[in-house]
């Protein structure tokens, strides 16, 4: 992978990061603990609300992990290692990076590590 390609993926990763950060900000509200407001209509709706919070927290956790992978990928772009498998140093295929630009393993190593 040449520098221009790395730069191109860098732009995509930065756009992805901005998108995730925006979603995170928007969902921060949904992650707030449910206030046990007695005026709320009954127990079932409280359970519903709590499940909603759990789902929002789970989605948030996945976004945090994705953000961490993006930060890692951007660091690899800086160091010039981006696009190369972090285990065997082979090229990671463009098709694979198209699925997820934060992949740090080639298909061979990814399959072995499962
Ligand atoms: Zn590999």
**86 Cα–ligand 1 center, Å:** 7
Specify the higher pLDDT residue, 5 or 28.
5
DSSP symbol at 5: H
Under a CB-based contact definition with an 8 Å cutoff, are residues 6 and 83 in contact?
yes
**Cα–Cα distance between 68 and 78 in angstroms, integer?**
15
CA 23 vs CA 17, 20, 26: distances in Å:
10, 5, 5
Q: What is the pLDDT of residues 40-74, one digit of tens each?
A: 567 778 888 888 889 999 999 999 999 999 999 99
DSSP state of 81: -
Question: Model pTM?
Answer: 0.80
Mean pLDDT, rounded, of the chain:
89
Q: Is the pLDDT of residue 38 over 60?
A: no
81 alpha carbon – ligand 1 mean position (Å): 13
Q: Are 53 and 31 in contact (CB under 8 A)?
A: yes
**CB within 5 A of ion ligand 1: which residues?**
85, 87-88, 90, 106, 109
Residue 35 binned pLDDT confidence (cut-offs 50, 70, 90)? low
């Amino acid at each position: 992978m040449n520098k221009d390609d790395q730069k191109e993926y860098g732009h995509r990763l930065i756009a992805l990061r901005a998108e995730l950060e925006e979603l995170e900000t928007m969902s921060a509200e949904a992650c707030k603990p449910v206030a046990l407001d007695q005026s709320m209509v009954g127990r079932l709706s409280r359970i519903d609300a709590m499940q909603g919070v759990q789902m929002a927290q789970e989605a948030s956790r996945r976004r945090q992990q994705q953000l961490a992978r993006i930060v890692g990928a951007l660091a690899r772009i800086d160091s010039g290692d981006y696009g190369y498998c972090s285990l065997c140093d082979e090229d990671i295929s463009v098709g694979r990076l198209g699925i997820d630009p934060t992949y740090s393993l080639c298909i061979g190593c990814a399959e072995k590590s499962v």
